[in-house]
Amino acid sequence: MDRITISGPWITEKEISYVTDAVATCWYENANLYHDRFQRAFAEYLGCRHALALPSGTSGVHLALLALSVGPGDEVIVPDLTWIGSSAPISYVGATPVFADVDPGTWCLSPDSFEACITPRTRAVIPVDLYGSLADYDAIQAIAARHRIAVIEDAAEAIGSEAQGRRAGTFGDISIFSFHGSKTMTTGEGGMLVTDRPDLYERALVLGDHGRRPAERGNFWNHEIAYKYKMSSMQAALGLAQLERIDELVERKRQIFSWYQTRVRSVEGLTLNVEPPGTKNSYWMVTAILDAGLGLTKDRLIPLMEERKALCRPVFHPLSSLPAYESLSQAVEARRRNTVSYRISPLGVNLPCGMSMTAEKVDYVCDSLMQILQAAQVRR
């Protein structure tokens, strides 16, 4: 068996054709042709009013915070168990991140922990749709409304997920997606900001284009110091082609998860992603949480799987455990408080689930995993 990679895209002749066309035609006055098509199609797919294509999901979180006028003296609540791209922009704008714990089932932001973290300085919350799972948005939105807190949905990992008939990315005042090369749909690097609020969209447009207002773009007239947050025409073309195949891409991810679920359903000591009633999980990353009783951690399991040519990656480390936040007082408190995040993280691995996975490859990964688990039980 050749090495089985953790992730990877599904590229067809459609994507190659669109990108080739963009390279040949999208210059000067035609530079935004694919941007416009991609943004319109994405907004239509979600059923929202506005979409703005960006160079990354992280830049989307940054623009969202700026559009909401979050800044120095403010606090923003974010789940402890996520990638730093969800939290780093809080520091970019001079605000303070506050790390809340996650739900033990979905691994997404715990509404109870969110509410417990609110102070008079709290301006926003950033729920993260981790690995394709959706947070309890009914509860989160109710808490946020009660305390007049803005909701920024980080749907970077959840294109195609749904809850109560609504798509991921429609639960925030403003929301973001990532199209990194590992994601279900990709532009290589890239992201999208979406919102139904014209005020937030118009502010993001100016902030993402060096402070230029759209009507004055050709005059090179800058009203403020801002940012250059725009994906290339080639990326937009790739994104449009992928979006036109989104149902097929999401279904492939769900098929891969189904293969894993069938194989490990009877394996004791192993928990996979959940799909609560009324939701649809797009399963960006097939994720396994080991039972603590196995005596096996992600740091031990991943090298053993790599020896068997099955490349896995660790579930994210709690943000509050990272050197980047070592001296932050909120991180010190989170290390004591966020027991679920600190219990799950050492025991969690993402299994190979790139678009090139087959049932045969899943069988091989599961066989390798079960051999390692059995050996661990024998040693105990």
Helix (H, G, I), strand (E, B) or coil at 294: helix
What are the tokens at 301? Answer: 């399991």
Tell me: the pLDDT tens digits for 195-208?
A: 999 999 999 999 99
What are the tokens at 67? Answer: 């559009």
Q: State the amino acid at position 22 in one-letter form.
A: A
Can you give the pLDDT at residue 286?
A: 98
Q: State the amino acid at position 266 in one-letter form.
A: S
* CA distance linking residue 78 with residue 262, whole number of Å: 34
Can you give the pLDDT at residue 73?
A: 97
Domains in the chain with CATH codes: 13-243 (3.40.640.10), 247-379 (3.90.1150.10)
What are the tokens at 191? Answer: 């992201």
- Give the position of tokens 């050709």: 218
Can you give the pLDDT at residue 219?
A: 84
Do 280 and 164 contact (CB within 8 A), yes or no? Answer: no
* CA distance linking residue 368 with residue 351, whole number of Å: 11
**In sequence order, which ranges of the chain are alpha helices (DSSP H)?**
13-25, 33-46, 57-67, 88-92, 111-116, 137-147, 198-207, 233-243, 246-264, 298-307, 329-337, 339-344, 359-379
Q: Whats the size of the chain, residue-wise?
A: 380
| 21-30, Cβ contacts within 8 angstroms, sequence gap of 24 or more | 21/237, 22/233, 22/234, 22/236, 22/237, 23/234, 26/233, 26/234, 26/237, 27/233
β-bridge mates for residue 194, sequence order: 51, 175
Q: Name which of 231, 65, 211 is nearest 152 in CA terms.
A: 65
Q: State the amino acid at position 7 in one-letter form.
A: S
**Which stretches of the chain drop beneath a pLDDT of 70?**
377-380
Q: Are strands 150-154 and 174-178 parallel, antiparallel or unpaired?
A: parallel
Q: Name which of 87, 66, 26, 94 is nearest 209 in CA terms.
A: 66
